[in-house]
A and B are shown apart, each in its own frame.
Chain A
Amino acid sequence: DIQLTQSPSFLSASVGDRVTITCRASQGISSNLAWYQQKPGKAPKLLIYGASTLRSAVPSKFSGSGSGEEFTLTIISLQPEDLATYYCQQLNSYPYTFGQGTRLEI
């Protein structure tokens, strides 16, 4: 199985800040990586796929980059509603796997 390691696991930031979350794969996965936002008690919501393509209707404050083994999710101009846990997922090979999550506190 491909392991995904996110860092940091916990992130505390302030309103207006810019934050970056990293996701490292145990082997190359091309650009077959998605990012999700999960708010407490809710299902995950797709933000970015193909490592860098923003899903339609997702605010442009979210951006993704990377390929191969290292990927990043950047969020600018943080707002209280961005409080959530963020997960990366590889869809390069089965079984699909997720990172352990990064909990963002505002």
Chain B
Amino acid sequence: QMQLQESGPGLVKPSETLSLTCTVSGGSIIGYYWSWIRQPPGKGLEWIGYMYHNGNTNYNPSLKSRVRISVDSAKNQFSLILSSVTAADTAVYYCAREGVDAVMETNYYDYWGQGKVVTVSS
């Protein structure tokens, strides 16, 4: 059974950089798209971006200037870096796998981490 686990600091100061890592177990990171999704307190879900195992990325334009996702295939991990954070970046950050139904040619998020609460505060 595939499992994803987020790790990293739970408190980040304004203007500094948020850094999280997602460790994938029970399966390989190869061959899939891996994403970060966040949820501010009491609000809905926001897609941050994805990385493919070969390094290809795609980011939400609303965050593109501040975000970078990287992968370490040897460790079966991928990471999120979000720079110049403000209080608006306070959220639960989820990592997730994008699965594919090749017959239907459609995608979905089938495995999620439990979420990492990140607070931006001085």
Chain A residue with the shortest CB-CB distance to B98: A91
Grouping DSSP codes into helix (H, G, I), strand (E, B) and loop, the A interface class, with mixed when no group exceeds half, is loop
Q: Which residues of B contact A50 (CB under 8 A)?
A: 101, 104, 106, 108
Output the residue of B49, B59, B101, B107 with the most chain A CB within 10 A. B107
Contact A53 B101 (CB under 8 A): yes
| Residue A71 is within 8 A (CB to CB) of chain B in the complex | no
| Residue A98 is within 8 A (CB to CB) of chain B in the complex | yes
Contact A31 B104 (CB under 8 A): yes
Please classify how large the interface on chain A is, using the bins under 10, 10 to 19, 20 to 34, 35 or more: 20 to 34
Contact A100 B106 (CB under 8 A): no
**In chain A, residues 33-81, which have Cβ atoms closer than 8 Å to a Cβ of chain B?**
34, 36, 42-46, 49-50, 53, 55
A-side residues, CB < 8 A to B, are 1, 31-32, 34, 36, 42-46, 49-50, 53, 55, 87, 89, 91, 94-101
Show 19 residue pairs from A and B whose CB-CB distance is below 8 angstroms, ordered by the A residue.
Answer: A31-B106, A36-B109, A42-B114, A43-B112, A43-B113, A44-B112, A46-B110, A49-B108, A50-B106, A50-B108, A55-B110, A87-B45, A91-B98, A91-B106, A94-B58, A95-B60, A95-B62, A96-B47, A97-B47
